[in-house]
Amino acid sequence: MMAWREDDLRNVYLPFLIGEGVGNYFTDPAFLSKLDQSPQDDPEAAVMHWTKVFGNTGLTWDDLAFLREHTNLPILLKGILHPEDAELALKYGVDGIIVSNHGGRQVDGAIAAIDALPLITDTVQGRIPVLMDSGIRRGSDIIKAMALGAKAVLVGRPAMYGLAVDGQRGVKEVLQNLAADLDITLGLIGKNSVNQIDESVIVEAQNLD
């Protein structure tokens, strides 16, 4: 990750830099304790402090031990795209893996999450749950992910689009539509539930010719 310079921030459009989407920081007592004034009184200083703590390049695999020490919650490691990282995740005792390229917004040309998924599930071999995130837009996307070994999928941007259009009701409608599309697609491929999904429902595109 590249380091920000304060001068650079004025030339970049990022909602976080105008205080949008950082409410989890601006209401956190540990974050607030580092500020001379509240985010309401000095929003620029709060944003600048956020840029210093977000994206900690000093984090390593060993920091998972700190998380384990301080929580009884399951630890799901998001952003796994390589089998070697999946092996390390197993070694460090995480409770699950989320295969994700963060919606393709981290590294141009990164492998698609759906392409990385079978490599990860082959490595994990069912020892911990594997979930998938990035690009889930319709019922068929869910089916493909589960056919390649995902236990579940995560849905991000569609829910945000629904929120932007119609608040809570918009989010609910997006998720209802996604569930309905999944149900219809299951019927069209001759399945009664997601528990019946396996690799037999998909083929590799290059094998169609």
As annotated, the active-site residues are 102
**What is the C-alpha to C-alpha distance for residues 129 and 96, in angstroms, rounded to an integer?**
5
Return the DSSP state at 125.
T
User: Which backbone phi and psi does 101 adopt, to 5 degrees?
Assistant: -110, 20
> Across-strand partners of 96?
76
Q: Which 8-state DSSP code applies to residue 189?
A: T
Query: What order of strands is seen across the sheet that includes strand 130-132?
Result: 76-80, 96-99, 130-132, 152-153
Give buried/exposed letters for 104-143 (b at 16+ CB in 10 A, else e): eeeeeeeeebbebbebbbebbeeebebbbbbbbebbbbbb
Region of residue 37 (phi > 0: left; psi between -120 and 50: alpha; otherwise: beta): beta
